[in-house]
Amino acid sequence: MQPSAPHSNQVVAALAARQHGVVGRRQLLAIGLTPAMVDGRVARGWLIPLHRGVYAVGHRHLRREGHLLAAVLAVGPGTVLSHRSAAALHGIRPSTRPAVDVATPRQGRRGRPGIDVHVTTVLGRGDVTVVDGVPVTTVARTLVDLASVVPADHLAKALDTAERLRILDLRSLRAALRRTRGRRGGGHAALAAALAEHVALGTTLTRSELEARFGRLVRDHALPQPRTNVHVEGIEVDALWPEQRLVVELDGWRYHRTERAFERDRERSNLLVVAGYRVARFTHDDLVRRSDRTAQIIGDLLDTPPAVVEEEPRFERPGDAQTSRAHSHVR
């Protein structure tokens, strides 16, 4: 029994609501519409073709995610957003390209207007995730794919951004490299070179492990509990004691060994100092091998009041009724 028109419209609308306003012809047939019912809604303008077999429901005013998902649906089951488009969705590299990159295991698939299709024989569950309702390659797999289509400096910047966003998982990245080794146009050499400059694989504690170790140090030495992972002057810091205006940053080797990371860390510290905060930086060895000394340093800093900002006395020149501007200094 075919669904009535009002009921089928409600079902289609509900599907579109879950998919950023787009639906695929295969999906419409699967929920009970006939080809004639689909074609009738297209003719009346209720379904608006975006790609062959993919429609916007009711209007063309789609968000970015709607256009991305439409490209994925157009190529067929098993297809996911990939390469430059995936990097943009993950937020690790912007893209203004009008074409959407997708990857599919379906052999013989060709590109179509507005879609660049990358056929792959390796696209397992470990390579795929969902972001904002759009099937997409994971950050690790995206970086592997990105290495084959962008210049080396763009790839290095994408790695930096993934690290800054704390979504760079080196174990997953190495696993993705192993899974795709030997494929044509894999970009493995470019990614290996970027990694060699960027990070040392698996040499020390992860960021979460460093933070956990720091938390134990604070508890074991009965230090006041700080606020963690908070923003100060627009900068996310690892630990903050606001009353003492003390910031502690944890420098893991794998995240801070490169020249770019070194420069960024110093710039962050300088901005915080200018804003009136004291900044102490500690490494893996400070937390593991010199924990007592590190706790003593933090305790001493907490016991020392922050610098006080005072106004200098106001002075007037003889015959000048206008008071000079007060200056402030840090004592």
* Residues 132, 73: Cα–Cα separation, whole Å: 15
- 192 shares a domain with 83: yes
- Rounded Cα gap, residues 33 and 274, in angstroms: 65
Boundary of a domain, candidates 165, 180, 198: 198
Which two three-digit tokens encode residue 330? 């840090």
Same domain (yes/no): 187, 245: no
One domain, residues 52 and 69: no
Domain, as residue range, for 237: 207-310
Q: What is the pLDDT of residues 71-98, one digit of tens each?
A: 999 999 999 999 999 999 999 999 989 9
Whether residue 69 sits in one domain with residue 194: yes
- Residue 178 to residue 201: CA distance in whole angstroms: 14
Answer for the pair 295, 253: CB distance below 8 angstroms, yes or no: no
Helix (DSSP H) and strand (DSSP E) numbers for the chain: 14, 14
- C-alpha 150/C-alpha 187 separation (Å) is 9
User: What's the maximum distance between 2 C-alpha atoms anywhere in the chain?
Assistant: 100
The number of domains in the chain is 3
The domain boundary residue, chosen from 34, 62, 90: 62
Same domain, 54 and 77: no
**Residue closest to 248 by CA, chosen among 214, 271, 213, 285:** 214
Does any domain span residue 1?
yes
243 and 193 fall within a common domain: no
Give the span between the Cα atoms of 324 and 327, in whole angstroms. Answer: 9
Q: Please state at what angle helix 259-274 crosses helix 152-164, rounded to 10 degrees.
A: 50
Would you say residue 83 lies in a domain? yes
Q: Does residue 317 belong to any structural domain of this protein?
A: no
What gap in Å lies between CA 298 and CA 321, rounded to an integer? Answer: 49
Report yes or no on 316 lying in a domain.
no
State how far the Cα of 244 lies from the Cα of 88, in Å rounded to an integer. Answer: 40
The two three-digit tokens of residue 161, written as one number: 């951004």
pLDDT given at position 285: 78
Q: Are residues 33 and 108 in the same domain?
A: no
Alpha-carbon dihedral angle through residues 87, 90, 94, 100, given to the nearest 10 degrees: 60
Per-residue pLDDT tens digits for 256-282: 444 555 677 788 889 999 999 999 999
Same domain, residue pair 186 and 243: no
**pLDDT tens series, the chain, 331 aa:** 455 555 688 899 999 999 999 999 999 999 999 999 999 999 999 999 999 999 999 888 999 999 999 999 999 999 999 999 999 999 999 998 999 999 998 876 677 889 999 999 889 889 999 999 999 999 999 999 999 999 988 998 898 888 778 788 888 888 888 888 866 655 788 888 777 766 543 333 456 677 888 999 999 999 999 999 889 988 889 999 999 999 999 886 544 444 555 677 788 889 999 999 999 999 877 887 889 999 999 999 999 887 654 444 443 444 444 433 333 333 3
Same domain, 123 and 107: yes
Q: Does any domain span residue 324?
A: no
Task: Retrieve residue 124's tokens.
Answer: 């397992």
In angstroms, the CA 114 to CA 117 distance is: 10
Instruction: Tell me the C-alpha distance between 118 and 105, whole Å.
Output: 9
Domain-embedded: residue 254? yes
> Do 90 and 172 sit in the same domain of this protein?
yes
What pTM was computed for the model?
0.60
Assign residue 281 the CATH number of its domain.
3.40.960.10
